[in-house]
Protein backbone atom coordinates (compact mmCIF):
# COMPACT_ATOMS: atom_id res chain seq x y z
CA UNK A 1 0.00 0.00 0.00
CA UNK A 2 2.94 2.35 0.60
CA UNK A 3 3.65 2.17 -3.14
CA UNK A 4 0.33 3.92 -3.67
CA UNK A 5 1.40 7.07 -1.83
CA UNK A 6 4.79 7.00 -3.54
CA UNK A 7 3.05 6.82 -6.94
CA UNK A 8 0.88 9.82 -6.03
CA UNK A 9 3.90 11.82 -4.88
CA UNK A 10 5.74 11.05 -8.14
CA UNK A 11 2.81 12.64 -10.00
CA UNK A 12 3.04 15.89 -8.04
CA UNK A 13 4.79 18.94 -9.44
CA UNK A 14 7.56 20.52 -7.33
CA UNK A 15 5.16 23.45 -6.75
CA UNK A 16 2.46 21.12 -5.42
CA UNK A 17 4.96 19.42 -3.11
CA UNK A 18 6.08 22.82 -1.77
CA UNK A 19 2.46 23.90 -1.31
CA UNK A 20 1.52 20.66 0.43
CA UNK A 21 4.61 20.82 2.68
CA UNK A 22 3.71 24.37 3.69
CA UNK A 23 0.12 23.34 4.45
CA UNK A 24 1.35 20.23 6.29
CA UNK A 25 3.58 22.35 8.51
CA UNK A 26 0.64 24.65 9.25
CA UNK A 27 -1.58 21.68 10.18
CA UNK A 28 1.17 20.01 12.24
CA UNK A 29 0.82 22.38 15.19
CA UNK A 30 3.30 20.63 17.48
CA UNK A 31 5.88 20.11 14.73
CA UNK A 32 6.26 16.37 15.35
CA UNK A 33 5.95 15.40 11.67
CA UNK A 34 2.43 14.00 11.94
CA UNK A 35 -1.09 15.41 11.93
CA UNK A 36 -3.40 14.09 14.63
CA UNK A 37 -7.20 14.06 14.51
CA UNK A 38 -7.16 17.11 16.78
CA UNK A 39 -4.73 19.02 14.54
CA UNK A 40 -6.70 18.10 11.42
CA UNK A 41 -9.92 19.32 13.04
CA UNK A 42 -8.35 22.64 14.08
CA UNK A 43 -6.88 23.15 10.62
CA UNK A 44 -10.13 22.36 8.82
CA UNK A 45 -12.11 24.69 11.07
CA UNK A 46 -9.58 27.44 10.34
CA UNK A 47 -10.40 26.88 6.65
CA UNK A 48 -14.11 27.38 7.29
CA UNK A 49 -14.99 23.67 7.37
CA UNK A 50 -16.86 22.15 10.28
CA UNK A 51 -16.22 18.38 10.18
CA UNK A 52 -17.56 16.07 12.86
CA UNK A 53 -15.13 13.91 14.85
CA UNK A 54 -16.36 10.93 12.78
CA UNK A 55 -15.66 12.73 9.47
CA UNK A 56 -12.14 13.59 10.65
CA UNK A 57 -11.51 9.96 11.62
CA UNK A 58 -12.81 8.79 8.23
CA UNK A 59 -10.54 11.26 6.42
CA UNK A 60 -7.53 10.01 8.36
CA UNK A 61 -8.48 6.33 7.90
CA UNK A 62 -8.82 6.81 4.12
CA UNK A 63 -5.16 7.80 3.81
CA UNK A 64 -3.59 6.30 6.95
CA UNK A 65 -1.48 3.73 5.12
CA UNK A 66 0.50 2.55 8.14
CA UNK A 67 -2.58 2.45 10.40
CA UNK A 68 -1.14 4.55 13.24
CA UNK A 69 -4.08 6.99 13.37
CA UNK A 70 -1.87 9.89 12.30
CA UNK A 71 -1.16 11.50 8.94
CA UNK A 72 2.47 11.65 7.82
CA UNK A 73 3.54 13.87 4.92
CA UNK A 74 3.19 11.22 2.15
CA UNK A 75 -0.32 10.38 3.42
CA UNK A 76 -1.13 14.10 3.57
CA UNK A 77 -0.11 14.42 -0.11
CA UNK A 78 -2.51 11.60 -1.01
CA UNK A 79 -5.31 13.33 0.93
CA UNK A 80 -4.64 16.72 -0.70
CA UNK A 81 -4.47 15.19 -4.19
CA UNK A 82 -7.83 13.46 -3.61
CA UNK A 83 -9.38 16.71 -2.40
CA UNK A 84 -8.06 18.49 -5.51
CA UNK A 85 -9.57 15.80 -7.76
CA UNK A 86 -12.94 16.08 -5.99
CA UNK A 87 -12.86 19.87 -6.37
CA UNK A 88 -11.95 19.55 -10.06
CA UNK A 89 -14.77 17.09 -10.73
CA UNK A 90 -17.29 19.43 -9.07
CA UNK A 91 -16.51 22.21 -11.56
C-alpha–C-alpha distance, residues 42 and 44, integer Å: 6
If one counts every other C-beta atom within 10 angstroms of the C-beta of residue 26, the result is: 13
Q: Specify whether the CB–CB gap between 58 and 20 falls below 8 A.
A: no
C-alpha–C-alpha distance, residues 74 and 9, integer Å: 7
Q: Which 3 state secondary structure label does DSSP give 71?
A: strand
Least confident of 1-15, 58-72, 74-88: 1-15
Q: Does the pLDDT value for residue 4 go beyond 70?
A: no
C-alpha–C-alpha distance, residues 50 and 60, integer Å: 15
Tens of pLDDT, residues 36-78: 999 999 888 888 889 899 999 998 998 898 899 999 999 999 8
Provide the whole-model pTM.
0.80
Confidence at 1, pLDDT banded by 50, 70, 90: very low
DSSP letter (8 states) at residue 47: T
Q: Specify whether the CB–CB gap between 1 and 66 falls below 8 A.
A: no
Q: Does domain 28-90 have CATH number 1.10.238.10?
A: yes
Amino acid sequence: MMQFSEEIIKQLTPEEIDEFREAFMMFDKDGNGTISTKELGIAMRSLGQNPTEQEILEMINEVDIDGNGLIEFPEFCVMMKRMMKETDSER
